[in-house]
Amino acid sequence: MSSLSFHSPYVMLAAALLFVGWVVWYLPKVIGKRSDGRSAFRFPSIAPFQEIGRGQAVLPFRLLQASRGLVLLLLVLAIGRPQSGKEHTKINTEGIDIILAVDTSGSMEALDLDAERPLAKRRNRLAIVKDVVQDFVEARPNDQMGLVVFGSQAYTQCPMTLDHGILSGFIERLEIGMAGDGTAIGNAIGRASKRLEDSTAKSKVIVLLTDGRSNAGKLSPIKAAEVAQSLGIKVYTVGAGAKGKAPFLRQGLFGVQPVYQDVDIDEETLTKIATITDGAYFRAEDIEGLRKVYSQIDALERTEIESLGYLEYNEHFYWFLVPAIMLLLIERLLMTTRFRRVPL
């Protein structure tokens, strides 16, 4: 935010008083009063008028007077050193490195997190998770984040970055089945831990979301959690899905029909993972519950921010000094040409 101020207001005030004094002293010397009350110029002699030829012009005295007054006024403003200040904020942070691990297996097609809507208008689990995760990323601009997706396999979708615009683009492009149809929770934790292994951040975190139980991958979830713990990584686990049965839309003989399947989240294993790594386990059964989960994680892992504010000033005295000098030069130039001043 910019603001205009004067660096030397008292000096400018003193100069302004001198300017007023000059006006009070100078004007009576050149302007007098006629007997009829009208202003008139006083001249000691009319001889100069007789010396000026008919073709020569006389610089209007009032214009000259106004020009000199304007020059003095501009100089007064220049002496005050007008400045514009722009406020800057320097932020020193001790960031947190976070890997978001998202399940993209086939079970993420379930329509149970959006239960308040009619079945035909519901969004699947992955669509809702993408929106909530985007909000989580947006709320943490000072943290490095990366993205791991997993199904029957696990791979890095986006490496660690502070450019959250790029990360958001990768989140938006997540699709069901892109990493296979199984659920390799251990491999997902292992892949995320590998990304955080060389991090020098004060806190390293994995936020893993799944809607099932581990049924794929070579690395067991518990073993992966122990590896993460040895690297100083916390794992927050999130189980997403309503209790009971969840609806899926399937193509049948009579068109698309809802099919209900049991929700099978391995809460015991997810809780063990969180306990081993000093994290926490959360269960989200609907949209609001999922938002609250990520808000809780956001509150648990906060970045320390130290802000230092300062003003950067730009000098603007030349806005007034340059026009004053130009007016003086123009007057001097005119005095040497056909515009001659009448001597006083």
Q: How many CA atoms lie within 13 A of 139 on its CB side?
A: 15
pLDDT in tens, 205-231: 999 999 999 999 999 999 999 999 999
Please provide the average confidence, as pLDDT, over all residues in the chain. Answer: 81
Q: Tokens for 240, please give them.
A: 């997403």
pLDDT at 259 over 80: yes
User: What is the token pair recorded at 96?
Assistant: 């947190």
Percent of the chain with pLDDT over 70: 69
* Cα torsion through 194, 196, 199, 202, rounded to 10: -150
Separation between Cα atoms, residue 115 and residue 129, nearest integer Å: 15
Domain residue limits, the chain:
2-86+312-340, 96-302
| Cβ partners under 8 Å of residue 313, min gap 6 | 7, 83, 84, 85, 86
Tell me which of 341 and 327 has the higher pLDDT.
327
CATH for 96-302?
Answer: 3.40.50.410
Alpha-carbon dihedral angle through residues 323, 329, 335, 336, given to the nearest 10 degrees: -150
**What pLDDT, on a 0 to 100 scale, did the predictor assign at position 319?**
73
Q: How confident is the model at residue 38 (pLDDT cuts 50, 70, 90)?
A: low
pLDDT at 64: 60
Predicted TM-score of the model (pTM): 0.65
| Residue 288 confidence (pLDDT) above 60 | yes
Percent with pLDDT over 90 in the chain: 50
